[in-house]
Amino acid sequence: MIATTTRGELTFGTIAAGSGLNAALALPGADALRKIDSSGLRGRGGAGFPTSLKWELAAKSPGTQKYVICNADEGEPGTFKDRAILADFADLVFEGMTIGAYVIGAQSGIVYLRAEYTYLRPHLEAVLSRRRRQGLLGTGAGGKKGFDFDIEIHMGSGSYVCGEETALIESLEGQRGEPRNRPPFPIDTGYLGNPTIVNNVETFAWVVCIMAKGPKWFKSFGTEKSTGHKLFSVSGDCRRPGVYEYPLGITIAELLEQVGGSEAKAVQVGGAAGQCVPRAQFGRAIAYEDVPTGGSIIVFGSQRDMLKIAENFLEFFIDESCGQCTPCREGTPKLLEGVKLLQRGECSMAYLNELCSLGETLQVASKCGLGQTAPNTFLSIAKHFRDEILGRTPQTP
Amino acid sequence: MLLTERERLRQELEELADRHGRRRSSLLFILQEVQQRHYHISEFCMQIVADLLDIHPVEVHSVVSFYGFLDVKPQGQFIIRLCRTIACEMAGKDEVARQLENDLGIKFGETTADGKFSLQWANCLGMCDQGPAMLVNEKVYTRVTPQGIHGILEECRGKFGVHATAISKERAI
């Protein structure tokens, strides 16, 4: 097992296994759902869709066969909190899935685990069999008559875009992981055409905490639109990288002080798909309504070349683009070419503006989140670091 | 490939398909196992799998070529995947990459002549706070240094030494 790097005590460590599930099963499904609703919990994968709304729609969808899918395809650069949760608090994740199944009326659960985390699988299988022995999974799960639910683990095969929920479902069905057009949404037309909820690892764990400690407790942290605590994966140029838990709404400056990265010149919030926030804006809050993140915080020190960063992220997107839609497939290489021009000091201001306009086209015209977010970092760097990136003297090797 | 070998492979794939169910949604399970056993998925295998699941071989190929952990070309027994994402880059992945190439005598995307090692890039391995990180098959190594590479490679060589011939025969499919 990999040494975890959690800093400070996490809420997850204070929740006794079984407490959340018992609390949920004592209520009718609709009441359990109301608890989640009043907590204001939003998806912890980064998109921030209200969890209770997703579950409510799936619960109302007609169908006898429904699915609960846990998105453990944590591929966003700079994110590793799901790995830490799966390693240390797998019980909470499975318990959250069980509560989800109870609420929407599902019999089957699937954990879609990324291929890069194959080494976690034996541990997860062991936890699953223990939970079956304890009667928390299987026929009459959690001692509730008529509630049958079990979970299996499916492995990914190395694809970033499969973290997008419809691509993930395609992959589970044995297809290329290409995102689907939405609507229809997975809540009524998901895995094998059945109503399906897909939630992030961390979201499921928080559901258990809400059940155990109550929605009021959860809501007492965070902001009005972004309630509760959130795990952050912090890496890059700081003295104490690792997994942290803070209330949403924390400012970037406050977070940097905690992790020992106050000298940073910029911070990448939300991974490759997020945005690059310059020092002047460190007063901004990390929350769905300001700078959203699935947990990824990468700190850039003063010595870092912003063009290298843009280059790295664009190469990443070119590699991971599924190639299905034109803006993403053709646009990202064009942006990378632009970065190379800037590196050689051969880019005019007019052309840089053209590139930015291309980036904005990608944001609106791409089919899925990958293409829509691919130009983000390039655009923030082109906006905030013009002095650094224009008029360079080419470096001779 | 010898006729008997083909027959053996066909049998193996049939068993796999029966175990996972002859459904389209079993395709990735089957392909993942073939990859693990044979270090790649040959055209012959793709054809058989397509027959078994009653789909067109092109569909199987399109799936194999989509995923980073499935290979059309034969790979080594040990696939080394070095993380190239930003946090590992800032932690010094370029030096590690260089030394991997030096110690193995191959470039990224290539396989050593003895069929033992393949070098590939990986996108974010989720070890950003402990970079540079790399996977050797399923095992993850963190805070890798250029001088630490040699020891990791020796560890692999030691583990598989006696089986090398038997396995490289299978690789020829």
d(CA B24, CA A247): 43
Q: CA nearest B139 in A: which residue?
A: A119
Looking at B35, B66, B97, which one is the last position of a domain?
A: B66
Any idea which residue has 């055209």 for tokens? Answer: B43
Domain of B59, CATH number, reads: 1.10.10
Looking at residue B164, what is its pLDDT?
A: 41
Tokens of A96: 């959250």
A295-339, pLDDT tens digit by residue?
999 999 999 999 999 999 999 999 999 888 999 999 999 999 999
Q: B165: domain range?
A: 78-171
Q: Give yes or no for a contact between A327 and A375, defined as CB atoms under 8 angstroms apart.
A: no
Domains and CATH numbers, chain A: 11-219 (3.40.50.11540), 229-300 (3.10.20.600), 306-389 (1.20.1440.230)
Shared domain for B126 and B84, answered yes or no, is yes
Q: How far is B17 from chain A (nearest CA, A)?
A: 13
Over residues A139-153, mean pLDDT: 95
Query: With an 8 Å Cβ cutoff, are A233 and B27 in contact?
Result: no
Residue B43 lies in a domain: yes
| Confidence (pLDDT) at A282 | 97
Task: Report how far Cα A360 is from the mean position of its chain's Cα atoms.
Answer: 23
Once rounded to an integer, what is the mean pLDDT over residues B45-59?
Answer: 96
pTM for the predicted model, two decimal places: 0.93
* Mean pLDDT, residues A12-27: 93
Dist. CA A172–CA A156, nearest whole Å: 8
| B97 and B44 both lie in a single domain | no
B160 and B85, same structural domain?
Answer: yes
Question: CB A220: neighbour CB atoms within 10 A?
Answer: 11
Please write the tens of the pLDDT for every residue from A26-46.
999 999 999 999 999 999 998
**Pair (B91, B158) in one structural domain:** yes
- Position B2 scores a pLDDT of 79
- Which of residues B25, B41, B66 is at a domain's end? B66
Provide, as residue numbers in chain B, all residues whose Cβ is less than 8 Å from the Cβ of A114. 126
On whether both B102 and B57 belong to a single domain, the answer is: no
Q: Quote the pLDDT of residue B165.
A: 39
pLDDT tens readout for residues B80-100: 999 999 999 999 999 999 999
Q: Is B144 a member of any domain?
A: yes
Res. B166: pLDDT tops 60: no
B58 and B97, same structural domain? Answer: no
> In this predicted model, what pLDDT tens digit does every residue of B122-141 receive, in sequence order?
999 999 999 999 999 999 99
A202 touches chain B (CB under 8 A): no
Helix H or strand E encompassing B81:
strand B78-83
pLDDT digits (tens, 9 = 90+) for A271-282: 999 999 999 999
Residue with token string 């194959």:
A118
Percent of chain B surpassing pLDDT 90: 87
A261 touches chain B (CB under 8 A): no
B90 touches chain A (CB under 8 A): yes
Nearest C-alpha of chain A: how many angstroms from B156?
Answer: 17
My answer on whether B17 and B93 are in the same domain is no
Q: What's the pLDDT tens digit per position in A118-130? A: 999 999 999 999 9
* CA–CA separation, A353 and B143 (whole Å): 40
Is B73 within a domain?
A: no
> Domain for residue B50, yes or no?
yes
Mark whether B30 and B97 lie in a shared domain.
no
Which chain B residues are closer than 8 Å to A236 by Cβ?
86-87, 90, 128
Supply the pLDDT for residue A114. 96
Average pLDDT over residues A178-189: 93
- Look at residue B168 in the predicted model and tell me its pLDDT: 37
B152 lies in a domain?
yes
Average pLDDT (A350-369) is 95
With CA atoms as reference, the chain A residue closest to B129 would be: A235
Which CATH number covers residue B90? 3.40.30.10
B93 occurs within a structural domain: yes
Q: Look at residue B3 in the predicted model and tell me its pLDDT.
A: 82
Name residues whose C-beta falls within 8 Å of residue A184's C-beta, 6 or more positions apart in sequence: none
Contact residues on chain A for B49, CB-CB shorter than 8 A? none
Same domain? B103 vs B152: yes
Of residues A369 and A101, the one with the higher pLDDT is A101
Q: Is B172 on the interface with A (CB under 8 A)?
A: no
Please determine, for residue A5, whether its predicted confidence score (pLDDT) is greater than 90: no
Confidence of residue A396 (pLDDT cuts 50, 70, 90): low
Q: Which of B21, B37, B66 is the last residue of a domain?
A: B66
Query: What value does the mean pLDDT take over residues A4-10?
Result: 72
**Claim to verify: residue B62 and residue B101 sit in the same structural domain:** no
pLDDT at A7: 73
* Residue B169's pLDDT band (cuts 50, 70, 90): very low
Residue A97 has pLDDT above 90, yes or no: yes
In this structure, the answer to whether residues B87 and B167 fall within a common structural domain is: yes
Q: Tell me, what's the pLDDT at A17?
A: 84
Q: Does B127 touch chain A (CB under 8 A)?
A: yes
Q: Are residues B132 and B160 in the same domain?
A: yes
Mutate to test the interface with B, among A80, A275, A306 (most CBs of B within 10 A): A80
Overall average pLDDT of the A260-269 stretch: 96
CB contacts of A234 in chain B (<8 Å) are 129
Q: Is residue B72 part of a domain?
A: no
In a domain, B114, yes or no: yes
**Average pLDDT value for chain A:** 94
- What is the tally of structural domains in chain B? 2
Average pLDDT rounded to a whole number, residues B148-155: 95
Helix (H, G, I), strand (E, B) or coil at A4: coil
- A310, two tokens: 């843009």
